[in-house]
Amino acid sequence: MLHKLPKLINKHNTTQNIRSSAKKMSYFHSFKTLLCFVFLLESLAARQYNYNPLLELPSRDEVVEMAGYGEEKLSTVVVTGSVNCEVTTFHSGGAIQPHAWPIKGVLVSVSCHSHSSSTKRKSKSMVAQGVTDEFGDFIVDIPSHLHAIPNLEKICRVKVLRIPKGSLCQQAHVKRQKGLRLQSFGNGIRAYSAGNIRFEHSTVDWVKE
C-alpha cells in the first residue's frame, strides 16, 4: 500500500488541478457572460437616451405636400379673383351712387419674379393665364414647378391682359395689376386670392331729379 501512495498522491493532485482549472474556466465564462450582459444594458440605455421623437415626424417632402408646397401633381396651387366694371352715377341732389357688374371673358395672367443666378437680376415671367366666367370670377392653376415656393404672394401678381370688345369698360386702364394674399392651405391645396379687380367706366352718368 505504501508503494502506491506516491501514485495516489499524484493522481489526487492531478484531479485537484483539473478541478481548479475547470473552476477557473467556469469563473472566466461567468465573467464573460456578465460583461456581455452589461454591454447589452449599456447599448439599450444609449438607444433610449438618444431617442429622438422628431425622427418619427413626417419628412420635409411629406410636410410640403400636405401644405400644398409639393412639386408633384398631388399638390395644387390656385389663384382666384374677380373682375368688375364700375360706373358712378351723380344725382343732381349731390348723391353719389356707384354701380358695378361682373365682366365675362376677361383674360388675366399670373406673373412671378425670378432671380437669375448668373446676372443676379430680378426678371418677371408669365406663368399661367385664366379667363373670367359669367360671374366675373377666375381661377388660375399655377404650374407644379412653382409649388415648392413658400411665399408666392411676395413674388407673383395678377394682371388683366385683355377686356372683351363689347365691354362698357373697354376704355378703362387695362394694364392694371394686383398683388396676392394667401387665402387657405391644407390637404395638398394652397389658394391665393387677388380679390376684386375693379375698372371704372370711361363716362360718368348724371341723373336729374
- What pLDDT score does 188 carry? 85
- What pLDDT score does 8 carry? 45
8-state DSSP, 148? T
Mean pLDDT, 10 residues at a time, the chain of 209 residues: 45 52 55 63 60 52 55 76 82 66 92 65 78 96 87 91 80 67 89 90 51
Sequence-ordered alpha helix ranges (H) in 67-151: none
CA–centroid distance for 187 within its chain: 10
- What pLDDT score does 176 carry? 67
- What pLDDT score does 110 carry? 94
- CA separation (Å) from 1 to 7, 8, 16, 148, 169? 10, 10, 22, 101, 138
- Dist CA 79 CA 193 (whole Å): 6
Report how many helices (DSSP H) and strands (DSSP E) the chain contains, helices first.
3, 10
- Tell me the helix, strand and coil percentages in the chain, rounded to 5: 30, 35, 30
Nearest to 205 by CA among 93, 83, 99, 84: 99
Residue 103: Cβ-neighbour burial (10 angstroms; 0-12, 13-18, 19+): buried
- What pLDDT score does 149 carry? 84
